[in-house]
């Protein structure tokens, strides 16, 4: 028979392994890994996962380069 401190340590270890090795779903992270960084001159750099592209503000609209990977 196992005493309670040993059982507690085993239970915590199981929970820790499940927490550390479980990949969170997209719903928990807001649904995507997109972002952007503002650049000087009215442009910005967009990120979508491992892809990125440059976008520029022109009058009257916006122009973006194609997506590319590093």
Residue 43 confidence (pLDDT) above 60: yes
Average pLDDT over residues 13-37: 67
What percent of the chain shows pLDDT beyond 70? 79
Q: Domain extents for the chain?
A: 32-70
Question: Looking at residue 24, what is its pLDDT?
Answer: 56
Decide: pTM greater than 0.75: no
DSSP per residue over 30-56, as a string?
Answer: TS--EEEEE-TTSEEEEEETTEEEEEE
């Amino acid at each position: 028979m196992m005493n309670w401190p040993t059982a507690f340590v085993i239970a915590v270890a199981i929970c820790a392994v499940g927490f550390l090795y479980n990949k969170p779903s997209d719903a928990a992270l807001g649904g995507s890994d997109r972002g952007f960084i503002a650049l000087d001159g009215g442009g910005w750099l967009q990120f979508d996962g491992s892809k990125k592209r440059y976008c520029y503000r022109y009058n009257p609209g916006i122009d973006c380069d194609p997506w590319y990977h590093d």
